[in-house]
Amino acid sequence: EVQLLESGGILVQPGGSLRLSCAASGFTFSSYVMSWVRQAPGKGLEWVSAISGSGGSTYYADSVKGRFTISRDNSKNTLYLQMNSLRAEDTAVYYCAKGRGVPTVMADFDYWGQGTLVTVSS
């Protein structure tokens, strides 16, 4: 059974930093693209970042480029999102999502974690 478990969401001040983690199990982690998708309170879904199975290719939404860094440790089956220079508009539930097995990093998502809430406020 595929499981994705996010952690690390907390209340942080504007300008602060945070690292989210997503522990994966139930599939061959290194074979799949992974992404972070966020959802601001009461709003729709926004794709944030994606990473290839090897970790060699990364992609970002313009809204987070230069501030967020996606990475993965395939030996630990864990996905990360390093978030720096946080802003109020980054407040959201952050979901870790597994890319469906397509031969491209541009994937849709067949499994999602339960999400972790990041609140940016003073």
Partner 1 sequence: EIVLTQSPATLSLSPGERATLSCRASQSVSSYLAWYQQKPGQAPRLLIYDASNRATGITARFSGSGSGTDFTLTISSLDPEDFAVYYCQQRSNWPLTFGGGTKVEIK
Q: Which residues bind partner 1 (CB under 8 A)?
A: 35, 37, 44-47, 50, 59-62, 95, 100, 102, 104, 106-110, 112-115
Least Å from the CB of residue 94 to partner 1: 11
> Closer CB to partner 1, residue 44 or residue 66?
44
**20/68 Cα distance (integer angstroms):** 11
> Closer CB to partner 1, residue 16 or residue 63?
63
CB atoms within 10 A of CB 84: 14
Least Å from the CB of residue 23 to partner 1: 15
Between vectors from CA 24 to CA 21 and to CA 30, what angle results, nearest 5°?
A: 105
**33/20 Cα distance (integer angstroms):** 17
> Closer CB to partner 1, residue 14 or residue 43?
43
